[in-house]
Amino acid sequence: MQGLTRYKLLFLLPGLLILLGIILFPLIFTIRVSFSGWDAIRPGLDWIGGTNYGRLFVDGRFWQSLSRLGAIALTSVMFEYLFGFGLALLVWHQVRFRRITRVLFLIPMMTTPVVMAVIWRTIFHESLGPANDIAGMLGLGTIPWLTHSVWATVVVILVDVWQWTPFMFLLLLAGLLSLPKEPFLAAAIDGAGPIRTFFNVTFPAMAPISVGALIIRLIEASKIMETVYVITSGGPGTSTETSSYYIFIRGLRDFQIGYAAALSVTYLVIMIVLLTIIAKILTNTLVKSGV
Amino acid sequence: MKLKQLLSAVSALAIASTSTGYAQEDYSRFGIEADVPGMCSYASIDAKDYSSRTLNIITHAIPVIGEPTALHAQQFEELTGAKVNVVHVPFGDLFQRILIPFQTNQNAYDVLFYASLWVGDLNRYLEPVPQAYQDASGIQDVTRNYIDVAKWDGQMIQYPMDGDRHYLKYRTDIFSNPEMQERFKSETGRDLSIPATWEEYNEVARVFSGWDWSGNGTNNFGSAEVAKRDDLMFSAFISRAAAFAKHPDVKGGFFFDLETMEPLINSPGFVRGLELFVEASKDWAPGGANFGLGDEIFSFGGGQALMSYSWDDAFIQAQQSDSPIRNNVAAAPLPGASEVWNRDTGQWDTFDEPNRAPYITWGWTSAVSNRSQNQDMAFDYLCFFSNEANTLSDLQIGRFGVNPYRKSHFDAALWTEKLGWDADLAASYVETLSSMDSSQNRVFDLRVPGVSQFMSSMATGVASAIAGQMEPQAALDQVAKEWAQIVERIGADTVRDAYASVVALEDNL
C-alpha cells in the first residue's frame, strides 16, 4: 500500500511542480520586484527595502482608487445578482423558446470585453452616440455620460452589469435546475403562493450557490480594467480610476515597475483579506442562518 | 530648396544622364514621382546588397507612421534583398515594448520609431547618426527645430523623419462671413478676428458654441481640444500655458528652475493657462472633455468646431478631397498672452504685442539601436525611408502622419500644386510653420529621464481641475509636489543634466 502511495505521488509530482511554478514563480518574482527601484532609469532588481511600500501608504490616489473599486464592484455585482436571479427564475419554468432564450441571455458574456467596451463608448459618445439621441427624444436633454463623474461611474457599472449578468444567470439557473422537487411540492400542498415559496423555499435552497456566485463575481469585478481603460480612461479627472487601472498607469505608462509591483502585492493582500471576510459574512448570513 | 527648383534639378539630371547614354532606372513603380539623386536615393539603395541579412524594426500601429514604415520596408527588401521584419505596436504599449528589451539586455530591434520626447530615457541605447548621413542632402535640408529635436547632448542620435508642432487652425469661411462678424460684435462689442490671445480664443469659442452656424442642421462649437487625460492632453495644456509662463527675457527653465530644480508647474503663468483651459471647457461640444486626439481631428476636420489647436492632423483632415470644409480653413500661430509671468521679478509683465511661445511639441522620430549588429543596414533603411522622393510622397498621404520638417516642405507651391490647396491657405500654413523655426521664445518638451512620470502627473492634475475635482492652483500645487518627489527619486543631478539641454534650446544658446 505504501508503495502504491509512493508511486501515486511520484506520478503527481511533475504536475504539482509545474503548477507550483506557474502559481508561485510570478508571485515570488513580483514580491521581489516590489523591493526594487526598477523604473525607466534604473533597470533591474536592485534592493531598496520597503521604500515602495512606505510610498504607497501615503499615496492617496491608490487608496482612493481602491475605495472607488469597492463601490463599483459591490454595486455592479449586486445588480448582476438581482438581474441574474430574476432572469434565471423566468427561464426556469418557461417552456416555450427556452433554448433560444437561454442562448440570447448568454451573448453578452461571450463577447470580447474590449470590443464591447469600444461599442459602449460609441453608444455613450455625447455628441455622436445614440444614448443621447434617445435621451433627447425622451426630453432629458444631453446627458454628460462620460464627462461627469457620477454619470461616468454609472456607465462603467452599467457596462459591467450588461456583460456579466449572464454569468450570474448561468450559475443561478444551473442551481435552480438542480434543486429537489419535493420541497416545492410540499409548499404547493401547504398552499404557499409563488412569493412565499420563493422566500421560504427557493431562496434558502439557493443560498450556497448564491454565495459561490457572488464571491466568484466579486473576485472578477475587483479586477475591472478593460471597461475603464476603453470607456473612460479613469476620467473625468480620476473619478473612475480603479486600482487595476492605477497600477497599470504606474507600471506600464510611467514605467515604475518596482512601485507597481508593490501596489500589486498590497492590492492582492487587501483583496484576499476583504474577500475572505465578505465570504464569511455571506456564508453566515445566507447559508448558516438558513434564510 | 524650392520645390520647382528641386523638380527642375531632377529633370535636368534625368535629361543629362539620358543624353550621355546612361539611362537612369525608373523607380516610379514604387509610387514616387521621380527618384532624387543622393546617398539615400532609390538608385543608391538599389546598388546595395543586403541579401541573407535581416533587419528588425519596431514602429507604431498602422496607419500613423506604421504604414509608411511597412511600405518602405517592403521597398527596401525589394531593392536590397534584405529581409525586413516590422513589428507594429499601439502607442500606449510602444514605450515599454522598446525599453524592456534594452533593460533585459536583448537585441530585439535594429530600428526604432517612437515619440521623440522619450529620448531622455532612450538616449543611452541609441547609436549616433554617422556623419556621412548627417551630410546627406535630406538631413541638410531639415529645419532648425527638428535638428534640435534630433540631438541629445549636442550629438545627433535620432534620425529626423517627421516634424511636429502645435498651431491654431480656424475656419476662414466663418471668420470672413459678415453675418457672423455682426453677431460676434453684437455679443462682445469687438470685431471678430483671429484670436491673438488665449482670452480672445475662449471668447470666440464661447460665442460660436451651441448653435448651428454651419447651416447643416446640427449644433456647432467654438473649439475642439485634446482634453482626455491619458490621450496626449498634456501637450494641449503646455500649448495653452506656454504664452503665460514662457517669458522671453527670463532664462533658465520653463518647467523647472534649472539651478534649483524647483518645479515651476504651479507658478502663476501655468495656473493662468489652466484657469483658461477650465473656463474653455464650459463651451466644448458634449463630451468635449473626453476628446482624444482622434475626436479633435474629426471635430475640426469634420466641420463641427470653428477652431482647434494641436498637431497637423486636424488640418490635413480638413483638407482631404472629400472634406466638407476643404479650402475653408487656415493656420495661424498659437494664441499668445498680454500678461506674462516673470519669475525673476515675481510679477506679471504686460506686453503690447501678445507674447507667443511656439510649442515644438514632440513628434515621431527614429533611431538605430547601439546594440544592433546591422547598423549599416539600419541607417540605410532610415536614410531610404526619409529620402526626398519618399518624403514628398508620404507628405501627401494624411494618414501616414509624416508632417513637414524640411525647408523644402515650407514652400507653398508644394501644397498648391501637389495637393490642390488654395494659395492663401497654403501660404498661411507655410508661414505659420516656418515662423516657429525663427522664434526666439520656443518651448520644447520636458526631454528628461522619467518624462512619462512627469507628464502623467501633470495630465492627472489638469484633468482633475477640468473635472471640477480641484481648483487649478490646488491641482498644480499637487503636480508640483509630485514632480519634486519624482526629481528626488530619479536624482536632481540626473534630471538637471538632461534638462540643461532642453533649456539650452529654449534659451537659444
CATH number at residue B92: 3.40.190.10
Asked if B35 and B140 sit in the same domain, the reply is yes
Nearest CA in chain B to A229: B230
B137-141: long-range contacts, CB 8 A cutoff, minimum separation 24: B137/B36, B137/B38, B137/B40, B137/B388, B138/B38, B138/B40, B138/B383, B138/B386, B138/B387, B138/B388, B138/B391, B138/B406, B141/B1, B141/B388, B141/B406, B141/B407, B141/B408
Task: Nearest by CB to A237, from B92, B286, B467: name it.
Answer: B467
Residue A50 lies in a domain: no
B464 CB neighbours in chain A (<8 A) are: 237-238
- C-alpha grid cell, residue A260: 507597481
Asked if B125 and B263 sit in the same domain, the reply is no
Residues sharing a CB contact under 8 Å with residue B193, sequence separation 6 or more, in sequence order: B175, B200
| A165-194 tens-digit pLDDT | 999 999 999 999 999 999 999 999 999 898
Q: Indicate the number of domains in chain A.
A: 1
Q: Exposure of A264 by Cβ count < 10 A (0-12 exposed, 13-18 middle, 19+ buried)? A: buried
Asked if B244 and B317 sit in the same domain, the reply is no
Best A149, A153, A253, A256 residue to mutate vs chain B (most B CBs within 10 Å) = A253
Asked if B128 and B8 sit in the same domain, the reply is yes
- C-alpha grid cell, residue B42: 532609390
Nearest CA in chain B to A251: B96
A127–B286: do the CB atoms touch at under 8 Å? Answer: yes
A41–B494: do the CB atoms touch at under 8 Å? Answer: yes
Residue B357 lies in a domain: no
- In this predicted structure, the answer to whether residue A161 has a pLDDT above a threshold of 90 is yes
Model pLDDT, residue A290: 56
| Alpha carbon distance B375, B53 (integer Å) | 12
- For residue A78, the distance in angstroms to the closest alpha carbon of chain B comes to 28
Residue with cell 490642390: B420
Which chain B residues touch A if contact means CB-CB below 8 Å? 92-93, 95-96, 99, 102-104, 121, 228-231, 285-290, 299, 304, 449-450, 452-453, 456, 460, 463-470, 489-490, 494
- For residue B465, the distance in angstroms to the closest alpha carbon of chain A comes to 7
Residue A194 lies in a domain: yes
Write out the residue range of the structural domain in which residue A216 sits: 61-288
Angle A149-178/A203-221 helices, nearest 10 degrees? 140
Asked if B148 and B42 sit in the same domain, the reply is yes
B494–A43: do the CB atoms touch at under 8 Å? Answer: no
| A97-155 tens-digit pLDDT | 777 877 888 888 888 888 899 999 999 998 889 999 999 999 988 899 999 999 999 99
Task: Nearest by CB to B96, from A142, A147, A252: name it.
Answer: A252
| Alpha carbon distance B228, B232 (integer Å) | 7
Provide the 8-state DSSP code for B124. Answer: G
Q: Exposure of A166 by Cβ count < 10 A (0-12 exposed, 13-18 middle, 19+ buried)? A: buried
Mean pLDDT, chain B, rounded, equals 92
Q: Tell me whether the omega of the peptide bond preceding residue A194 falls within 30 degrees of 0, making it cis.
A: no
Q: Indicate the number of domains in chain B.
A: 3
Q: From B438, B465, B488, give the residue that closes a domain.
A: B438
A8 phi and psi, to 5 degrees?
-60, -45
Residue with cell 456607465: A155
B99 CB neighbours in chain A (<8 A) are: 40, 255
B452 CB neighbours in chain A (<8 A) are: 40, 253-255
A237–B229: do the CB atoms touch at under 8 Å? Answer: yes
Residue A203 lies in a domain: yes
Nearest CA in chain B to A259: B489
Average pLDDT over residues A20-31: 91
Model pLDDT, residue B19: 41
Residue A8 lies in a domain: no
| Amino acid letter, residue B127 | E
Residue B488 lies in a domain: yes
A249 CB neighbours in chain B (<8 A) are: 230, 456
Average pLDDT over residues A33-43: 92
Model pLDDT, residue B14: 45
Task: Nearest by CB to B467, from A43, A236, A252: name it.
Answer: A236
Asked if B300 and B319 sit in the same domain, the reply is yes
Model pLDDT, residue A92: 83
Model pLDDT, residue A134: 94
| B341-398 tens-digit pLDDT | 999 999 999 999 999 999 998 889 999 999 999 999 999 999 999 999 999 999 888 7
| Alpha carbon distance B5, A225 (integer Å) | 55
| Alpha carbon distance B459, B232 (integer Å) | 8
Task: Nearest by CB to B103, from A43, A237, A249: name it.
Answer: A43
Best B97, B282, B453, B486 residue to mutate vs chain A (most A CBs within 10 Å) = B453
Model pLDDT, residue B100: 92
A233–B92: do the CB atoms touch at under 8 Å? Answer: no
Nearest CA in chain B to A48: B489
Report whether B488 contacts B480 (CB < 8 A): no
No. of helices (H) and no. of strands (E), chain B: 23, 16
- C-alpha grid cell, residue A212: 459561490
Mean pLDDT, chain A, rounded, equals 91
Residue B35 lies in a domain: yes
A147 CB neighbours in chain B (<8 A) are: 286-290, 467
- For residue A263, the distance in angstroms to the closest alpha carbon of chain B comes to 16
- For residue A231, the distance in angstroms to the closest alpha carbon of chain B comes to 10
Give strand pairing partners of B367.
B112
Pairing of strands B305-310, B221-224: parallel
| B420-432 tens-digit pLDDT | 999 999 999 999 9
CATH of the domain at A118: 1.10.3720.10
Residues of chain B with pLDDT under 70: 1-24
Residue B353 lies in a domain: no
Give the closest residue to B4 by CA, choosing from B433, B411, B387, B432. Answer: B411
Residue B199 lies in a domain: yes
Sheet strands side by side (includes B167-171): B221-224, B305-310, B167-171, B329-332
Model pLDDT, residue A1: 58
| Amino acid letter, residue A46 | D
Report whether A52 contacts A61 (CB < 8 A): no
Half-sphere exposure of B379 toward its Cβ, with a 13 Å CA cutoff? 19
DSSP B435-482: HHHH-SS-EE---STTHHHHHHHHHHHHHHHHTTSS-HHHHHHHHHHH
| Alpha carbon distance A249, A235 (integer Å) | 13
| Alpha carbon distance B52, B459 (integer Å) | 47
Report whether B189 contacts B203 (CB < 8 A): no
Q: From B438, B461, B488, give the residue that closes a domain.
A: B438
Asked if B100 and B192 sit in the same domain, the reply is no
The stretches of A179-225 forming alpha helices (DSSP H) are 182-189, 194-197, 203-221
Asked if B413 and B503 sit in the same domain, the reply is no
Asked if B236 and B190 sit in the same domain, the reply is no
A58-61: long-range contacts, CB 8 A cutoff, minimum separation 24: A61/A238, A61/A241, A61/A246, A61/B460
| Amino acid letter, residue A79 | F
Residue B341 lies in a domain: no
- C-alpha grid cell, residue B62: 498602422
Report whether B394 contacts B69 (CB < 8 A): no
Report whether A218 contacts A80 (CB < 8 A): no
B463–A237: do the CB atoms touch at under 8 Å? Answer: yes
- For residue B373, the distance in angstroms to the closest alpha carbon of chain A comes to 23
Asked if B39 and B108 sit in the same domain, the reply is yes
- For residue B353, the distance in angstroms to the closest alpha carbon of chain A comes to 35
Write out the residue range of the structural domain in which residue B257 sits: 228-283+448-509
- For residue A39, the distance in angstroms to the closest alpha carbon of chain B comes to 8
Task: Nearest by CB to B460, from A147, A238, A255: name it.
Answer: A238
Q: From B405, B438, B471, give the residue that closes a domain.
A: B438
Residue A46 lies in a domain: no
Asked if B143 and B268 sit in the same domain, the reply is no
Residue B343 lies in a domain: no
Tell me the ipTM for this assembly. 0.85
Best A33, A68, A147, A239 residue to mutate vs chain B (most B CBs within 10 Å) = A147
Residue B42 lies in a domain: yes
Q: Residue B477, Cα to own-chain centre: how many angstroms? A: 28
Nearest CA in chain A to B461: A237
Task: Nearest by CB to B453, from A149, A236, A254: name it.
Answer: A254
Q: Residue A44, Cα to own-chain centre: how many angstroms? A: 33
Among left, alpha and beta (phi > 0; psi -120 to 50; other), residue B419 is: alpha
Asked if B246 and B202 sit in the same domain, the reply is no
Average pLDDT over residues A82-86: 94
